[in-house]
Amino acid sequence: MGSDIAGNIQAIREELKDTQAQLIAVSKTKPNEAIEEAYAAGQRVFGENKVQELVDKYESLPKDIQWHMIGHLQRNKVKYIAPFVHLIHGVDSLKLLKEINKQGKKVDRIVPCLLQVHIAQEETKFGFDIAELKEMLDNKVLDDLTHVEIQGLMGMATNTEDEKQVAQEFAGLKSLKEELDKDYQHPRLQLKELSMGMSGDYPLALANGSTMIRVGSTIFGARNYNT
């Protein structure tokens, strides 16, 4: 089976035509050649979930690429991506947000972030629960965080065939965004983005208000972790 990265991207672009959503091409584990193929097809926005890989690719690929950190981020690694990262999707604790702020300050950048919310039924997925998130905003923590901007929310739905459940989880994240947008005003809380939807569920995410879909295997083919 030959890969057709350009064709796959084109097909997804067609699906996005009548939406406000943006495609984040998730290139984790894939070589630079695959990214270059997507780049040649006009794709400029890529997502990675490992800091070292993200930094290596940033350094070796064209500088007009926007790099999104989509995975779980460890605090001690924030410093490596703070100078250039376009958006950090998976901010799942106040401690992490504070570290991003600290590293943003060092490099004189306001680092764009999304707060990850736990919407799935699985125990293992990272993210704030809703009460925790509201408590954080109630405590006005953003007053002290001058070098982050919260641009929206990110969520991962349960990995299930039950489309109704997945749709419900996405719709729940959307209404949470609207609620927070109404209830909390702060210059560094600009809730525009809803990062939701991956290869298996992005049509449902789009139908429920996603503004950023994070698609890997549908573009680049299945990942091989055995190397």
Structure tokens at 88: 């950090």
Instruction: Please choose, out of 58-66, 142-150, 165-173, 215-223, the segment that lies near ligand PLP by the rule CB under 6 A.
Output: 215-223
Residue pair 154/90 in contact by the 8 Å Cβ criterion:
yes
Coil, strand or helix at 162: coil
Q: Is 119 in the site for ligand PLP (CB under 6 A)?
A: no
* Pairwise CA distance, residues 122 & 131, whole Å: 18
CB of 105 to ligand PLP, least distance (A): 26
CB of 145 to ligand PLP, least distance (A): 23
Q: Is 85 in the site for ligand PLP (CB under 6 A)?
A: no
Where are the strands (E) in the chain, listed by range? Answer: 22-26, 45-48, 66-69, 87-91, 111-117, 148-155, 189-195, 212-215
Q: Is 211 in the site for ligand PLP (CB under 6 A)?
A: no
Task: List CB contacts of 17: < 8 A, sequence separation 6 or more.
Answer: none
* Binder of ligand PLP out of 117, 148, 166, 198 (CB under 6 A): 198
CB of 34 to ligand PLP, least distance (A): 13
Q: Is 168 in the site for ligand PLP (CB under 6 A)?
A: no
Structure tokens at 16: 């996005």
Site string for ligand PLP, 9-48 (x = CB under 6 A): -----------------x-x--------------------
Choose among 205, 147, 220, 218: nearest CA to 22. Answer: 205
β-strands 87-91, 148-155: how paired? Answer: unpaired
Backbone φ and ψ of 34, nearest 5°: -65, -40
Q: Is 199 in the site for ligand PLP (CB under 6 A)?
A: yes
Q: Is 104 in the site for ligand PLP (CB under 6 A)?
A: no
Q: Is 112 in the site for ligand PLP (CB under 6 A)?
A: no
* Pairwise CA distance, residues 169 & 119, whole Å: 6
Structure tokens at 59: 């350094």
Instruction: Please choose, out of 106-114, 117-125, 176-184, 210-218, the segment that lies near ligand PLP by the rule CB under 6 A.
Output: 210-218
Q: How many angstroms from the chain centroid is the CA of residue 150?
A: 12
Residue pair 74/99 in contact by the 8 Å Cβ criterion:
no
Q: Is 221 in the site for ligand PLP (CB under 6 A)?
A: no
* Binder of ligand PLP out of 71, 127, 155, 209 (CB under 6 A): 71
Q: How many residues bind ligand PLP (CB under 6 A)?
A: 13
CB of 49 to ligand PLP, least distance (A): 4
Structure tokens at 126: 């990272």
User: What residue ranges bind ligand PLP (CB under 6 A)?
Assistant: 26, 28, 49, 70-71, 198-200, 214-218
